[in-house]
Structure 1
Amino acid sequence: MSSWQTKMSQTYTGTYDGNEPNFYGIAFPAAFSNANAQGHFVFDNTQEDVTWDPTNQSQADLKVLAVAVGHRNDAATALILYFFAVKNGQPVVYVSQTTNGPQVYFQKTDNADLQNGFAKLYNK
């Protein structure tokens, strides 16, 4: 993530560095154990519960191994949220640019460098 964020001229706070990223008041990883947060994550137009599992030990269908939050290049106050996840045994990077409302909408990232880099780390 360090080299990727430098390449993108962006800076991220991530759970992978021992930090607790905050996305518009949603603190991670605490949000995963907060009953109020569950049921508010939408992935590719499907509401799903997710499991926080940085050690990748659970049998959950969708588990998040790491979270990163940073500012978008085009707006100093607009945040971008990444979930580095495993869905049905496959590594996937989800991104959200949701700015308000009770739901946080995610889609698979279009950034091939980020997706490929995560898959490479995951498959080591």
Structure 2
Amino acid sequence: MFDKLDSLDIEELKDLRKTVDRAISSYETRKRQEAISAAEQAAREHGFKLTDLLGNGKAGRGRKSNGGTTIDAAKYVNPDNPEQTWSGRGRRPQWINEALDSGRTLEDLAA
């Protein structure tokens, strides 16, 4: 298999590297989503939402006091990056728009 690589020119090798990098990234994204889905399912089986259990390392989630201002609880979570959330209020984040454009629904992104 590797002897075929010797017959490729530099542009073909660079294209192959890009293809492999994309395949690795796609694989990692799929595996991460599978793990998140499994964790969400386990939380549901115990009567919780995953965000209720994680809550950024704090007990519970919800409205927090921040010097007189309140922060809305996350209603939507980016499946590719659980640190990205949206309360459903205000302008939609780019990751929400991209997910909707790719065929997902807001229900798919619900926390």
TM-score by length of 1: 0.30
Structure with max Cα Rg: 2
Greater relative contact order structure (CA < 8 Å, 6+ sep): 1
Greater fraction helix: 2
TM-score by length of 2: 0.32
Greater fraction strand: 1
